Chain A
């Protein structure tokens, strides 16, 4: 099972390094890590995906809390949430295959963002399953290049993530 952790961290130099160093040091395997700014300029937000079959997500949470620059961590896997990943795909496309690729992209509600004589760049946003099946559909055409952002996530409803600090055993040391 995949665990999605949302961490609010201080927006200071070296914080990403501290988090990455922690994962390396403790041997934590992570599927993806994204970081970006939030509604508050002093705070950045990280979305970390942990494969629980390889790494105990609770240990990741507790160790993240030990970092002084980490303000709050929440495991949102059990909560209803919006989970998104973005992929850019550069695929082989000539006059013959181009219409079919564009049509398939539309089925996935993706976008064609660059057209060249021999290739197309496609953009797709969605949950991981959708992205994966889109990649499989495109593979036969010949994928020249691929990049993914990694997962970002937010729980549904009005209460923001990571504002509930220090819940019982999640308290900070």
Chain B
């Protein structure tokens, strides 16, 4: 059957199982929007293209499926850049589709022309400029395959207007994708496994560093079995939270700059680090020269370029974590490590005594208490989508994630403005779950226009704004490292309740005083307690 490029695009998206796309129309993508009317796909109209990409990202992280964002050429495409870079840093599988000026006009500085494949080259896993409608079906299929396989990530397809209009016989490329330079399957060398087993069983003070890769690989059960069998404590990265139950006795919680002191103490004293699906980010290691000096290191990652990038390791294993753990598991011996675990517990008790939750708050409402109350009110079962800043770290510390895929946050790029649009995407991916957007007053205002998206699309997310009238994380650094010179961090904010009212969103403020008593359990369709 002869179809237009635009129709072929939608045919291919349907075949990838796409049900929701996030986008914003414009001149160069109009043929695609026009054809959309004839396909059973839900389009969510955002208020800024950055929001479309974050929403697709949130959708992908909540569902494990590929998220899709659509924008027009030029400014539509460049507005996507922050969202794409965010997805790239956190290995989130999304496909972005941008309109482009007609092929004949490319390179002529035409109206709303921009070299988006050039711009996004370093922040996509791969990208395409489709100049021939005959290539389109194959390209869409490849794009989805690349986005969701290996180390997942964003892929962009730039689609000139004439290619969307051109007609051709639609032949869907059946069978597996053929990319000679892309073979994400790996073979695990047996000698590396042997060496790893030897180090694991002889270690007296081992610690597992469990990252995002555990979730991406779906290796939660294997991780738990590994930790329990070897009696090895588990520390988590920010993006790894939820990969191991927070209530588990072997769970230490988050490591690194914003982790508890005892976790980092344990890492510094360990004799073996088992890095599972994490990448030794500088927020995890601090100064790499003094990082875990007593420990040998085993690093398992799906991306070979991560091995020995930041930290030199004794054994580096490239592979899907679940497969590697399944290989290792039968050889892990139940070694008695009670002395090590007791030592860690001692450090942990010391940290606990200083915990802010043990303060009465002194008449003020503390961010950590708000998060703690949110955790109790939701019984730890909500999906929390955080923005970036202090509230993000309080969330990581005080919302105890029992289940996988319950925290969605911008870890690598640290993108303020992420939470609200990503929360909209997450809710659409998992409509039966309670989704809470937790944001600071600064980051929230970066993308607050997406409130209108939530209203128009009737997305029943709940929003908590932790408002201290400061860019809190920056202020914290100014306090510690810049002698309290608070340059450009105080904020004059709108009344967020009135703002919500303008969108017809019920809201209430919790000005503090004692412990927070916001209406966590408000039955309203959309709530925005401030």
* Chain A interface residues (CB < 8 Å from chain B): 9-10, 14, 17-18, 21-22, 25, 58-59, 62-63, 65-72, 165-166, 168-173
Q: How far is the CB of A35 from chain B (nearest CB, A)?
A: 15
> Is there contact, CB below 8 Å, between B305 and A21?
no
A14: chain B residues at CB < 8 Å are 117, 129
Query: Which partner residue on chain A sits nearest B317 by CB separation?
Result: A169
> Is there contact, CB below 8 Å, between A63 and B305?
yes
A17: chain B residues at CB < 8 Å are 118, 121
**Per-residue interface assignment for chain B, residues 147 to 159, with 1 indicating a CB less than 8 Å from any chain A CB and 0 otherwise:** 0001100000000
> Is there contact, CB below 8 Å, between B180 and A71?
yes
Query: Which partner residue on chain A sits nearest B316 by CB separation?
Result: A169
Interface residues of B in 332-370 (CB under 8 A from A): none
A18: chain B residues at CB < 8 Å are 121
B182 at the A/B interface (Cβ < 8 Å)?
A: yes
> Is there contact, CB below 8 Å, between B182 and A168?
no
B303 at the A/B interface (Cβ < 8 Å)?
A: yes
A170: chain B residues at CB < 8 Å are 304
B512: chain A residues at CB < 8 Å are none
> Is there contact, CB below 8 Å, between B318 and A171?
yes
Report, as a range, how many residues of chain B touch the other chain.
20 to 34
Interface residues of B in 347-406 (CB under 8 A from A): none
- How far does the alpha carbon of A169 sit from the alpha carbon of B324 in the complex, in Å? 14
**Per-residue interface assignment for chain B, residues 170 to 203, with 1 indicating a CB less than 8 Å from any chain A CB and 0 otherwise:** 0000000001111111110100000000000000
> Is there contact, CB below 8 Å, between A172 and B183?
yes
B458: chain A residues at CB < 8 Å are none
15 contacts between A and B (CB under 8 A): A10-B181, A14-B117, A58-B308, A66-B125, A70-B181, A166-B186, A168-B187, A168-B189, A169-B304, A170-B304, A171-B185, A171-B186, A171-B304, A171-B318, A173-B318
B284 at the A/B interface (Cβ < 8 Å)?
A: no
A169: chain B residues at CB < 8 Å are 189, 304, 307, 316, 318
> Is there contact, CB below 8 Å, between B304 and A68?
no
A70: chain B residues at CB < 8 Å are 181
B138 at the A/B interface (Cβ < 8 Å)?
A: no
Give the one of A67, A71, A169 with max B CB within 10 A: A169
A165: chain B residues at CB < 8 Å are 183
> Is there contact, CB below 8 Å, between A21 and B121?
yes
